[in-house]
Amino acid sequence: MIKNFEDLKVWEKAHKLVLDVYKTTQKYPKEEIYCLVSQMRRAMISVAANIAEGKKRNSVADFMHFLNMADTSLEEVKYYLILSKDLKYITEPEMKNLYDKSTEVGLMLTGLERSLKKFKR
């Protein structure tokens, strides 16, 4: 039984991705600290935080809403990864690695949303 957000595999993967994004953005140019780095980190944090907050909500519908918000923030992160590669802040392999991990989290979010639909009131 899933008692709290830490028990969710999707949250675990999202949290690891937050750490990966922090590590990767540490090497970005200083002029990006308040722009791209900040936006990317906040969007990625939002993914894990929305999963956590949604798990605590009192209804399946609310939880699903927060999972959807997590998924939309994840799409934002994917764009920032592409932009980072195009600006040559990260390499193609670095971008692909983080992009693939983002896609995996997205698929897990979609799967969780689908499984919750049968319990939605």
Mean pLDDT of 63-92: 98
| Mean pLDDT over each residue of the chain, to the nearest integer | 95
Query: If pLDDT is split at 50, 70 and 90, which confidence band does 22 have?
Result: very high
pLDDT of residue 120: 66
| Helix orientation angle between 92-117 and 60-86, rounded to the nearest 10 degrees | 170
| Helix orientation angle between 60-86 and 36-56, rounded to the nearest 10 degrees | 160
User: CA 83, CA 28: separation in Å to the nearest integer?
Assistant: 12
Is the pLDDT confidence value at 47 over 80? yes
Query: If pLDDT is split at 50, 70 and 90, which confidence band does 118 have?
Result: confident
Query: If pLDDT is split at 50, 70 and 90, which confidence band does 58 have?
Result: confident
Tokens coding 45:
């944090």
Write down how long the chain is: 121
pTM attached to this predicted model: 0.94
Tokens coding 17:
């991705």
The domain 5-18+38-117 is placed in CATH, from the list 1.20.1440.60, 3.40.50.2300, 3.90.79.10, 3.40.50.10680, at 1.20.1440.60
